[in-house]
Amino acid sequence: MQEAIDLKGRPYSHLAFIWTLLAGTFTMSISQSSLSTAYPTLMHYFNIPASTVQWLTTGFMLVMVVMMPVSPWLLNNIRFPVLFISVLALFDVGTFIIYLATSFPLMMLGRVMEAMAVGIMFPSYQTVMLRITPEAQRGSVMGFAGLVMGSALAVGPIISGIVLKYTTWQGLFVVFMLIITIVFVISLKTIKDVMPQHKAHLDYWSVLSSLGFIGILYVVNQIGKAAVNWGAMGGLLVISLLAIVFFVWRQFQVDTPLLDLRVLKTFNFDLAVLLTGTSYIALIVVTIVFPLYYQEVLGLSPFASGMALVPGAVVLSLLNPLTGKLADKIGFKGTMLTGMSMIVVGWLWLTVVSGKQSLVAMILIAALIEGGNAFVMMPAVTLGANSLPDQLISHGTAVITTVRQILGSTGVAVATLILAAVTASHVKIESAAIANLAGYRAVFATFLAVAVVGWIFAALLRDPRKTKA
């Protein structure tokens, strides 16, 4: 095992540290993505409609996004072993509350606690891995992280499907509790103090104004839903946007900002943020829209449509470590141009080829788009970090994860709106099947345009190796 030195000069196992870090993050990622499988069961158990049970995902996402900008302050003010163990404990307690829940509000409380833990963990694990890895090896290490995190997409629906088949919905959370408790115990030995502290007062005005992110995401998630009070939503959107404008202004006025937005003054970092956003939009739209296509156009069952996503997720997982090494060898620009080209070709195929696609063709296209994501997502995070001084890496990863989540949610909302609007306009003059296909083609054409913009971002990248030379 590779030996490394912590801040106190004591050796520790670099490999054991990374494995423990990824094990905790991996489990949290599965808990985030696998719950939708249990929705029908939960609706029956708590006697609630689909619009209510959806809050287990929507509410989770809103809380997670507002915690992300706080993660740099936490990393700078709390020793990392204490922070990591506290986050695991928060997630574990939240999961235990869900397990015991006799009402939906109690389950929602546990879900909020889980979301707080995930919102802190997702930017933090990337920051720590980047900080403890030499710049020349960051592509490979983050590629390995991508393998672990990408595989959560593949095993999430499988684990939840198996558990729900043989036990109750509570069994799913027992699995998460057991794994996180084991990781908690192991982390007492393996997680060391590796992050330098830069203690500062917490700027409460920044925290308060960051709630604008919740408002924006909430409004975005109402797009395409029936019976929405758009007068109230418009007011909420205006207030939320003003809060974010104040948040941005505030970060440049205080001595120790909650989220140091000076990172946005670096050209390559800005492109890295936009590239992670455009590639994540492609990934999240595939995972949401393709199952709908499988069910509505191809007539598959919900379970079969979920399993049809697994090959693409496996391709994403397997390519991640290879693309990390490729970025270290040939550079980030070539790697990300390759990935964006794959994503463009995938959407182009769906847009140009008319008529109903076969299941095999859809699975291959999903694999192509998700494989392209592997060439962009983690390499862009790594490039963004390499473009910044070490003390700003935590702020950079927080910016990337926050923007990525907002853009991904917006992408899904736009896809849903276009699908509904175009289908409704065509159904007046054509059959329901043809109208449905027209709706999906409009969605595919929209995200082809987004992918082309992403390809242009990749083409604009400056090779950091040439810049340093």
What digits encode the pLDDT tens for the residues 161-171? 778 778 888 88
Last residue of a domain, one of 255, 278, 295: 255
Within a domain: residue 108? yes
Q: Give the pLDDT band of residue 86 (cuts 50, 70, 90).
A: very high
Answer yes or no: are the C-beta atoms of 261 and 270 closer than 8 Å: no
Q: Residues 267, 248: one domain? A: no
pLDDT for residue 464: 61
Within a domain: residue 194? no
Pairing of strands 11-13, 3-5: antiparallel
Return all residues near 426 (Cβ < 8 A) that are at least 6 apart.
434, 435, 438, 439
pLDDT for residue 202: 86
Q: Residues 407, 317: one domain? A: yes
Within a domain: residue 396? yes
Q: Residues 447, 315: one domain? A: yes
Last residue of a domain, one of 139, 160, 189: 189
Q: How many of the other CB atoms lie within 10 Å of CB of 170?
A: 14
Q: Residues 434, 285: one domain? A: yes
**Tokens 């959407």, located at residue:** 347
Cα separation, 371 vs 367, in Å, equals: 6
Q: Residues 110, 164: one domain? A: yes
What would the two tokens of residue 67 be? 């915690």
Within a domain: residue 76? yes
Q: Give the pLDDT band of residue 153 (cuts 50, 70, 90).
A: low
- CA-nearest of 30, 23, 28 to 183 is 23
Within a domain: residue 198? no
CA dihedral 322, 61, 53, 290 (to 10 degrees): -40
Percent of the chain with pLDDT over 70: 96
- What does the pLDDT average to over 99-128? 92
Q: Give the pLDDT band of residue 465 (cuts 50, 70, 90).
A: low
Q: Is the pLDDT of residue 39 over 80?
A: no
Q: Residues 78, 30: one domain? A: yes
Q: Is the pLDDT of residue 1 over 50?
A: no
Q: Residues 17, 49: one domain? A: yes
Quick one: angle between helices 359-386 and 310-330, nearest 10? Answer: 40
Q: pLDDT tens digits for 279-309?
A: 989 988 888 888 888 888 888 877 788 788 8
Answer yes or no: are the C-beta atoms of 212 and 56 closer than 8 Å: no
Q: pLDDT tens digits for 331-340?
A: 889 999 999 9
Count of domains for the chain: 3
CA–chain centroid gap for 262, Å, is 23
Residue 161: exposure state from Cβ atoms within 10 A (0-12, 13-18, ≥19): middle
What would the two tokens of residue 439 be? 């709706």
Q: Give the pLDDT band of residue 229 (cuts 50, 70, 90).
A: confident
Q: Is the pLDDT of residue 469 over 70?
A: no
- What does the pLDDT average to over 301-320? 83
Q: Give the pLDDT band of residue 272 (cuts 50, 70, 90).
A: very high
Amino acid at residue number 68: M
Within a domain: residue 410? yes
Residue 143: exposure state from Cβ atoms within 10 A (0-12, 13-18, ≥19): buried
User: Please, what is the average pLDDT of the chain?
Assistant: 86
- CA-nearest of 290, 285, 315 to 305 is 290
CA distances from 3 to 6, 14, 156, 187, 228 (A): 10, 6, 33, 17, 57
Cα separation, 342 vs 451, in Å, equals: 9
pLDDT for residue 108: 93
Q: Residues 289, 315: one domain? A: yes
Quick one: angle between helices 393-427 and 212-222, nearest 10? Answer: 20
What would the two tokens of residue 307 be? 């399993």
Q: Give the pLDDT band of residue 351 (cuts 50, 70, 90).
A: very high
Within a domain: residue 48? yes
Q: Residues 265, 328: one domain? A: yes
Q: How many CA atoms lie within 13 A of 176 on its CB side?
A: 34
Q: Residues 6, 61: one domain? A: yes
Q: Residues 152, 294: one domain? A: no
Percent of the chain with pLDDT over 90: 35
- What does the pLDDT average to over 21-37? 82
Within a domain: residue 197? no
- What does the pLDDT average to over 336-354? 93
Q: Which of 131-140, 217-226, 406-415 has the lowest mean pLDDT?
A: 217-226
Q: Give the pLDDT band of residue 214 (cuts 50, 70, 90).
A: confident
What would the two tokens of residue 462 be? 């400056």
Structure letter (DSSP) for residue 4: E
Q: Residues 178, 128: one domain? A: yes
pLDDT for residue 188: 93
Domain that holds residue 150: 1-189
CATH number (domain holding residue 292): 1.20.1250.20
- What does the pLDDT average to over 242-271? 91
Q: pLDDT tens digits for 399-437?
A: 998 888 888 888 888 888 888 888 888 877 777 788 888
pTM: 0.82
